[in-house]
Amino acid sequence: MSTAVVPTLSWNLVTRNLHGHPLLRKKLRQKIAKLERHLVRFPPDAVHLQLSLERNANKDLYTAALTLRVPSNILRSEKSGPDLIQAFDLAVKALLRELTGLKAKLRRESFWKRKARRDQLHELKSAGFAPEPQAEGEGPQSFADVLRALLQQHYSRLLRYVRRSLWHETAAGELPPNAIDARAVVDEVARQALAAPEKKPDKFSYLVWLFTLARREIVRRRRAWQAQATQVTSLDTPQPLAEQAEAAAGYDPEQPLDIIEQQLQPPIAEAKDLLPDQRTPNPAEVVADRELLAQTRKLAATWPRAEREVFELYFVEGFEPEEVAMILGRSTKAVQDLIQSVHRRLREAVTEQALV
> What letter represents residue 231's amino acid?
Q
List of residues 6+ apart from 315 with CB closer than 8 A: 260, 262, 342, 346
Q: Which pLDDT belongs to residue 178?
A: 92
Q: Which pLDDT belongs to residue 181?
A: 96
Cα–Cα distance measured from residue 50 to residue 25, given in angstroms and rounded to the nearest whole number: 13
Q: Which pLDDT belongs to residue 221?
A: 96
Residue 64: φ, ψ to 5°: -115, 125
Q: Which fold has domain 8-127+135-141?
A: Double Stranded RNA Binding Domain (3.30.160)
List of residues 6+ apart from 156 with CB closer than 8 A: none
pLDDT per residue of the chain (356 residues) written in tens, 0 to 9: 445 556 789 999 999 998 878 888 999 999 999 898 888 878 888 999 999 999 998 888 999 999 999 999 999 999 999 999 999 999 999 999 999 888 777 655 544 444 444 555 455 555 788 888 999 889 999 999 999 999 999 999 999 999 999 999 998 888 999 999 999 999 999 999 999 999 999 999 999 999 999 999 999 999 999 988 865 455 555 555 444 544 444 445 444 443 333 334 433 334 443 344 444 454 444 444 566 667 777 788 889 999 999 999 998 899 999 999 999 999 999 999 999 999 998 888 777 766 65
Cα–Cα distance measured from residue 57 to residue 18, given in angstroms and rounded to the nearest whole number: 10
Q: Are 132 and 21 in contact (CB under 8 A)?
A: no
Residue ranges per structural domain of the chain = 8-127+135-141, 154-227+248-262+276-355
